[in-house]
Amino acid sequence: MNIDYADRIKQLPPYLFEEIDKAKRDAIKEGRPIIDLGVGDPDTPTPDFIVKKLQEAVMDPSTHTYALNRGLGVLREEMAVWYKRRFNVVLDPETEVLPLLGSKEGIAHVPLAFINPGEVVLVPSPGYPPYNSGSIFAGAKVHFMPLLKENNFLPDLESIDENVAKRAKIMHINYPNNPTGAVCDKPFYEKIIAFAKKHNIIVCSDAAYTEMSFDGYDPMSFMEVDGAKEVGVEFHSLSKTFNMTGWRVAMAVGNAEMLNGLAKVKANIDSGIFTAVQVAAIEALKNSEKIRDEMNAIYTKRRDILVEGLNAAGWNVTKPKATFYIWAPVFGGYDSFSLAKAILEKADIIVTPGNGFGESGEGYIRMALTVDKEEIVEVVKRVKKEFF
């Protein structure tokens, strides 16, 4: 039998993190002492009080049935309370909050609600791969917005051709940014809103890393800015904040009509978040400040050890104000892929080549602060020994 993949599958680039995981598995099979800085998956366990709340909820048989697609009303209410407490943003939990099976799911599905084949989605490069893949699944034409150092890793809206802007239906933005660690300010969001209003573009703000910040910097929400709710939605995740990546719980908030479109897609694809997980998510959100401070203290120490150690060795690396990623320029005549390969082969360290996040990521590698500080000290030693 001849099996032929659909054209939309053929258009997809190799999924970056699957490739990294395969390289890791192969190296471990060889018995090598691998340190994995590749995938942004927290190494610290989910806090005990969240796990205990899940255990209690699992024992209640009423949580074992299908969940509602729009989630428990009490979860939506708690999400709205959290947004008010954290960002002073008022949301209607009935119409302006939509729980998700992780923000990746919502980001990948939102084009299906609004994109007709051939319409344009504006995608940052480098950027989180589902911005691109979700657009491809919806039949969109993807227009990449380069995030360059000279623009502080912000998209240059003025450089977008007027004809492209007229055909665009969705724009993805992501600050604090993965993979660059870049941050933005209120004037940037105001420019985005003005651009979106001018061209009738839906803005999808990925805010997964607002709770990871350092040195007194406090990231803001896109939804804080006047007009944001008119033009867009924001995705927020419990994954990184609460070390709950495997639990698959997140939220989309903002424009009610846009969220309703996403909810229609979800109603035909999934059956909602396991109710016991929703109950545990409520407990997490109620205790967010305590967890945030504790985790940021851990990541600050790791960041400082890695960046200061690499700079002392001779690498020119910038300390990020937010996220748990280090965006480091290549050196010594390497490109992104060849440097990542050399670091794995010579130092038994897995990093992510920047061009895996898009063409404009060439010239950088990404390192995640997702190992303990003793292993980060070892990373510095190995890199210094093998490359400097």
Pairing of strands 250-254, 120-125: unpaired
Tell me which H or E stretch contains 294. Answer: helix 288-313
Torsion-angle region of residue 216: left (phi > 0), alpha (psi -120 to 50) or beta? left
pLDDT of residue 24: 73
Q: Among 320, 63, 276, 52, which residue's Cα sits nearest to residue 182?
A: 320
Instruction: Return per-residue pLDDT of the chain as tens, 388 residues.
Output: 888 888 888 888 776 667 667 777 887 788 889 999 998 899 999 999 999 999 999 999 999 999 987 999 999 999 999 999 999 999 999 999 999 999 999 999 999 999 999 999 999 999 999 999 999 999 999 999 999 999 999 999 999 999 999 999 999 999 999 999 999 999 999 999 999 999 999 999 999 999 999 999 999 999 999 999 999 999 999 999 999 999 999 999 999 999 999 999 999 999 899 999 999 999 999 999 888 999 999 999 999 999 999 999 999 999 999 999 999 999 999 999 999 989 999 999 999 999 999 999 999 999 999 999 999 999 999 999 999 9
Could you give the strand order of the β-sheet that contains 352-353, starting from the edge strand earlier in sequence? 325-329, 364-368, 352-353
User: For residue 348, what are the CA distances in angstroms to 27, 164, 317, 332?
Assistant: 8, 44, 20, 19
Q: CA–CA separation, 215 vs 322, rounded Å?
A: 9
Q: What is the DSSP letter of 255?
A: -
pLDDT of residue 11: 87
pLDDT of residue 9: 86
Q: What is the DSSP letter of 6?
A: -
Tokens 């911005």 belong to which residue? 131
- State phi, psi for 92 to the nearest 5 degrees: -85, 115
Through-space distance between the first and last CA atoms of the chain, rounded to whole angstroms: 54
pLDDT of residue 12: 81
pLDDT of residue 31: 82
Decide: residue 319, CB within 10 A, 0-12 exposed, 13-18 middle, 19+ buried. Answer: middle
Do residues 245 and 41 make contact, with C-beta atoms less than 8 angstroms apart? yes
Residues paired with residue 168 on neighbouring β-strands, in sequence order:
120
Whether the bond into 179 is cis, omega within 30 of 0: yes
User: For residue 206, what are the CA distances in angstroms to 38, 61, 73, 345?
Assistant: 20, 35, 23, 34
Q: What is the pTM of this model?
A: 0.94
Instruction: Encode 180-205: b = buried (16+ Cβ within 10 Å), e = exposed.
Output: bbbbbeeebbeebbebbeebebbbbb
Pairing of strands 232-237, 250-254: antiparallel
pLDDT of residue 15: 64
Q: CA–CA separation, 31 vs 27, rounded Å?
A: 7
pLDDT of residue 16: 62
Do residues 117 and 252 make contact, with C-beta atoms less than 8 angstroms apart? no
CA angle 119, 125, 129 (to 5 degrees): 75
Encoded tokens for 117: 């084949």
Do residues 302 and 373 make contact, with C-beta atoms less than 8 angstroms apart? yes
pLDDT of residue 22: 75
Domains of the chain: 7-45+290-387 (3.90.1150.10), 48-287 (3.40.640.10)
